Amino acid sequence: MHLLHQRGPLHDLPDTPEAYDAVLADVVEQALARLTPEGNLEHPDCVDDIGDTSLGITSLLAFAWQRTKDPRLPEAVRRSLAFHLRERVYVEDNPGYPNLRVRNSGLPYARYTLEAGAHPIGDWPSTVWALLQAVNLLDAADGLVDDAQRGELVEVARGYWRWLTEATFFNPQEAGNQAIGCVVGGLMLASHLPSPERESVRGHAVDLYVDRIRAHRVRDRGALLPPEHGGAYDNNYGPISLSFLAQAHRVSGEEIFAEDGDALARYIDARLTGGGFDNGGPRYSEQHSAFESVLGLRYFGARIGSDLGRYRGDSRWARHAVKADGGVDGHFAWMLVWQTEDTTRWHRTPSAEPARHQLRLGTVSVAFDSHMTPSVTEADGTYYLPAAVNRQHGYGPVVDGFLFCRPMGEVRVRDVRAESLAAKLVTKPVVGRDHVLRHVRSLYVTDGTSLWVTVAVERLPGTPYLLAGMPYAADDGDRVRRTAEARVASVGELRLTHPRSEGADHFDARSETTQQQAAFALAEDPRGYGNPDEGWSHLVSSTALEAAPVPDAPEDLHVFAVRYGPGGACTVTVEQGAEGLTVRTEAFTAVIGDIAGDAHGEPELTLHLSTTRR
């Protein structure tokens, strides 16, 4: 079974002008064949997210005309624009819309669904999208529409902006991508307005970003991020926010958008596996965007010098939105325009700079959460998620159902590169149920093909084991498939266990249930509105790799040694000496310094390639 939305890396898409011209040519032919006598360009199956879609196709036709001067397009643009202005601009309040600040304002807005009162909660983002379609069309309208029709469109766009910023609460869904999109709409609208209104709208847009978005950023993994549906980041909407930040910088030149885009881009780079797999967020735990993310990933990937395009998008939406039959839909059409206009090319090589929340080399990567516990581990084309035991999630030693991975104090990190190796040492103070403070030292070393993880902790009572993750997904060509298998070896006995209980809060990786489905089943609100990350946190137990301790470790320590990826038996020896704890494998020798570290208390780590590997 393949994961539905995570498909090929987005930087595999051709990004030449010729490739985009071919996409636009296909859109033109579909649109001309679909255009009704009334001028409607909506896909016949469109129900939700419909209020801006005909106008979106119109903007694509106008953009295509600017590039090709196809004589069939001017009449199609005028007819379809007339349809939107006549049939899709609403000025009477939508019954039941909860986020109005001003009743009966008479200002125009776009509906998420056309039926009055059917689903009004989506009208705010739909109006943002309609504003963006309108300003894109205005950008390409010269020589296409007469002054009267253009003037009417300017008035509607001005009204959309006022409805979004005056008649309603701003950003009522706490969705960063929608809010930044609104700011972009204001910045682009300003260029079509006379002075001094131009300067007023532009200034208001920047102020909204600073006061209503930037001031409310949420911290995760050391980065300040625009909040997304109540969370710090969503793996579907986060890269879309990055695209809006790219466009905001492109049209305004304001450095604040570049600075915040760089920060979000570095965060995405650190949380993404090398293979582009990612999961998590307050809305769509595994659902991925595609063309909506291209602009931001490409633009900021080039700025920070990293291959953000490895992000696995949904290739069914590789160039534009489509319905089940593959037919074009006008939703988010402006993103196709913007990425066609932008001349930035994909940066396809990884950054060489170490990142606190990432270890990456070759085909191996580990993404760490805010507590420096692995959130996704990748080796040998397999992706591991944190396992769950007794309602606790993570990687670390376990005694009597208690998982030692939540820090009780500062987490120290040391990155080292040596010859063909990359390593990260993470030192955490932890407290168990006995209230004894212990230091968990986790050493991650990779040669780009395999990952060695060695965990040392002051000797534990009972019979401890290492909770070493849950095999969840694996590369399968251009797709990602579910799995419950792994190529993992351990010095101590290694077990792959599965939950003994049934139910949504016991996740068996052998089942056909995806992490996303299980997370929404455990969330408090319905799918699409609940927080799957919060739901997943209610998981009691899961499939898990459990590794017994190294049998000949120093007397005062429990040590666990696991290798992910290809190879035979895992051969790791651990010795305590004057210099510290020495870890030897067939690939490397590492020395972990004393707990006290250097004069600043930082952990010490030295690393050498094995003589047989040189």
User: Comparing 233-242, 543-552, 563-572, 605-614, which segment has the lowest mean pLDDT?
Assistant: 605-614
Contacts of 402 (CB under 8 A, 6+ apart): 390, 392, 432, 433
Whether the pLDDT of residue 612 is over 90: the answer is: no
The average pLDDT across 147-172 equals: 98
pLDDT digits (tens, 9 = 90+) for 46-78: 999 999 999 999 999 999 999 999 999 999 999
Residue 599 has a pLDDT of 74
Mean pLDDT, residues 200-209: 98
CA-wise closest residue to 290 among 2, 8, 1: 8
Q: Average of pLDDT values for 566-572?
A: 90
As a whole number of angstroms, the distance between CA 500 and CA 486 comes to 20
- pLDDT tens, 286-319? 999 999 999 999 999 999 999 999 999 999 999 9
pLDDT, tens only, 483-540: 999 999 999 999 999 999 999 999 999 999 999 999 999 999 988 888 999 999 999 9
User: What's the pLDDT score for residue 334?
Assistant: 97
DSSP symbol at 213: I
* Cα–Cα–Cα angle for 62, 320, 263, rounded to 5 degrees: 105
Quote the pLDDT of residue 613: 64
Alpha carbon separation from 335 to 177, 207, 574 (Å, rounded): 13, 24, 54
What is the structure's pLDDT at 597? 60
Q: What pLDDT shows up at residue 168?
A: 98
pLDDT of residue 595: 63
What's phi and psi for 260, nearest 5 deg? Answer: -70, -30
Per residue in 241-265, pLDDT tens? 999 999 999 999 999 999 999 999 9
Confidence of residue 610 (pLDDT cuts 50, 70, 90): confident
Is pLDDT at 596 greater than 70 in this prediction? no
Share of the chain above pLDDT 70, in %: 99
Omega before 429 cis (within 30°)?
A: no
User: Which residues neighbour 236 within 8 Å (Cβ) at sequence distance 6 or greater?
Assistant: 5, 281, 283, 284, 287, 288, 289
Largest CA distance in the chain: 86
Contacts of 44 (CB under 8 A, 6+ apart): none
Q: What is the pLDDT of residue 527?
A: 85
Q: What percent of the chain shows pLDDT beyond 90?
A: 94
- The Cα 257–Cα 322 span in angstroms is 30
pLDDT digits (tens, 9 = 90+) for 403-457: 999 999 999 999 999 989 999 999 999 999 999 999 999 999 999 999 999 999 9
pLDDT for the residue 349: 97
Distance CA 221, CA 201 (A): 35
165: Cα separation from own chain's centroid: 27
Q: Which of 18, 17, 51 is nearest to 332 (CA)?
A: 51
Cβ proximity of 184 and 244 under 8 Å: yes
Q: Is the dihedral of CA 237, 243, 246, 248 positive or negative?
A: negative
- Average pLDDT score, the chain: 95
Give whole-number Cα distances, 443 to 2, 205, 496, 587, 605, in Å.
32, 47, 22, 14, 9
Evaluate whether 57 touches 28 at the Cβ level (below 8 Å): no
pLDDT tens for 340-368 read: 999 999 999 999 899 999 999 999 999 99
Q: Report pLDDT for 278.
A: 95
Model confidence band, residue 580 (pLDDT cutoffs 50, 70, 90): very high
Task: For 402, list phi and psi in degrees, rounded to 5.
Answer: -105, 125
**pTM (2 decimals)?**
0.97
Separation CA 291–CA 393 (nearest Å): 33
- Write down the pLDDT at residue 567: 87
